[in-house]
Homo-oligomer: A and B are copies of this chain.
Amino acid sequence: MVLLSGGLDSATVAAELIQDGWRVHALTVDYGQRHAAEIAAAREIAAALGVEEHLVLPVDLAAFGGSALTDASIAVPKSRDPLAPVEASIPVTYVPARNLVLLALACSFAEARGAEAVAIGVNALDYSGYPDCRPEFVRAFAEAARLGTRCGVEGAPLRLLTPLQELSKAQILARARALGVPVARTVSCYDPSAAGTACGRCDACRLRARAERELLGEA
């Protein structure tokens, strides 16, 4: 069960698991994100990669608010310099407990389908400073999921796969290209136009731009 957002990272996870021989089911959560263009991207990526099943589940976290990604009245921070580094502190684009919610939903879906594992494209090297992307969180979550599920109690706990955890964004981008991920279709931008065009200045765009430049430098 792969959490597929429509962004680069989760698409790379899905492609890698399919290449490794897994039968991949994908879950996309439509949580009321400002960048709803990523939902359309997720559908196209799922079709392009050939997943077994793709479910888009609406869960309106915008009803809670508290984030620039779910509350239109909070602006997404942008830098004038499209290659400016991303700050280390937790930004206003943090969505309260998002990965806790996404992983919980993925575990529910995974258990209902009898899946062996749940995969998520977190990485803690080039990221936006979100606490729920860190390996210590994922480890603690896996333990909670083991204790709180039938499969965990009856002997086959869900494995939590984070294949990108230690990769830089440039390494992820290189891997995505090698795996044939439709990179141009992925939407990482936090504030794209309605048509899905990236803003080029938000944290996610700058992380992607810096990764592209790094790969060009190596080429």
Given contacts A97-B111, A104-B100, A108-B100, contact A140 B147 (CB under 8 A): yes
B interface footprint on A76-105 (CB within 8 Å = 1, 0 otherwise): 000000000000001000111111110111
For A22, the chain B residues whose CB sits under 8 A away are none
Binds B, one of A38-46, A58-66, A176-184, A194-202: A58-66
Give residues of chain A (139-156) contacting chain B, Cβ–Cβ below 8 Å: 140-141, 143-150, 152-154
For A132, the chain B residues whose CB sits under 8 A away are 147-149
Instruction: Tell which of B134, B147, B150 touches A136, judged by Cβ atoms closer than 8 Å.
Output: B147
Q: Is B90 a contact of A97 with CB atoms below 8 Å?
A: no
Q: Is A99 a contact of B148 with CB atoms below 8 Å?
A: yes
Count copies of this chain in the complex. 2
B interface footprint on A100-125 (CB within 8 Å = 1, 0 otherwise): 11011101111111000000000000
Which applies to chain A's interface (DSSP): helix, strand, loop or mixed? helix
Interface centre among A99, A112, A145 (most CB of B within 10 A): A112
For A140, the chain B residues whose CB sits under 8 A away are 140, 143-144, 146-148
Q: Is A59 a contact of B61 with CB atoms below 8 Å?
A: no
Q: How many of A's residues come within 8 Å of B, CB to CB?
A: 48
| Interface: A57 (CB within 8 A) | yes
Given contacts A58-B58, A59-B57, A152-B131, contact A108 B147 (CB under 8 A): no
Q: Is B150 a contact of A90 with CB atoms below 8 Å?
A: yes
Given contacts A107-B96, A131-B148, A137-B147, contact A63 B59 (CB under 8 A): no
Q: Is A112 a contact of B64 with CB atoms below 8 Å?
A: yes
Instruction: Report the minimal beta-carbon distance from A133 to chain B, rounded to whole angstroms.
Output: 9
A residues touching B (Cβ–Cβ < 8 Å)? 55, 57-61, 63-67, 90, 94-101, 103-105, 107-113, 131-132, 134, 136-137, 140-141, 143-150, 152-154
Other CB < 8 Å A-B pairs besides A67-B112, A100-B108, A143-B143, 7 of them? A58-B58, A59-B105, A64-B113, A90-B154, A96-B149, A137-B148, A140-B146
